[in-house]
Amino acid sequence: MSTFSSIIAGFGGQGSLLMGKIMAYAGMLEGKEVSWCPSYGPEMRGGTANVNVIISDENVGSPVVTKDADCIVALNQPSLDKFVGVVKEGGALVVNADLCTVGAVKDGVKVYAVPANKIATDNFGGSKLANLVMLGAVVYATGAIDIAGLDETFAHVFEGGKAKFIPNNKKAFELGYEYAKNL
């Protein structure tokens, strides 16, 4: 991989920006050039939010992904509808199957339909960790980051008082990774 580009999109509060932050941080810890470019409305929850993440062996020229993304992650139907055409032939489309119905996609696009809300609810009693389930599926689908560095990445992203969330976040990630592996 010389350059990996993705758009992660959903409603505010679904965790799309956190997913992008984890991917970008992991890439940075691997010594890659990264960009993390969020876009969101004024609403804290319920509005739309997406983040463009680029991980590269080379300098990143533009932090914005407008076409030919290696991966599109859709946490809800409006995000899928908006970005499905941006994924390149041979790329990955990772969707939350509990909230998205996938229609036609470009030839060669591999679709990973992950029931992230159900997996999170079954294992953690609610859908709050669905984003980490999705992130695990994304990493399996794309190989964009090395899972060997996940512990260090989580330690940086979930610092201080947030460290108590690491075990469940890691478990949710692993569940998504394993689910995608079996698709």
* Assigned token pair, 147: 């899972």
Q: What integer pLDDT is reported at residue 73 of this predicted model?
A: 99
Q: What integer pLDDT is reported at residue 41 of this predicted model?
A: 78
Q: How far is CA 63 from the centre of its chain?
A: 16
Strands (E), 22-172: 33-40, 48-56, 69-74, 87-96, 110-114
Residue with tokens 């999109």: 9
CA dist 71 and 137 (Å) reads: 11
Q: What integer pLDDT is reported at residue 46 of this predicted model?
A: 74
Q: What is the per-residue burial (b if ≥16 Cβ within 10 Å, else e) of 116-146?
A: bbebbbeebeebbbbbbbbbbbbbbbbebbe
Residues 82-112: tens digit of each pLDDT = 999 999 999 999 999 999 999 999 999 999 9
Closest to 7 (Cα-Cα) out of 57, 84, 65: 65
Low-confidence ranges of the chain (pLDDT < 70): 1, 43-45
Q: Which CATH class is domain 3-181?
A: alpha beta
pTM here is: 0.95
Q: What integer pLDDT is reported at residue 42 of this predicted model?
A: 75
Q: What integer pLDDT is reported at residue 1 of this predicted model?
A: 52
Strand partners, 95: 74, 113
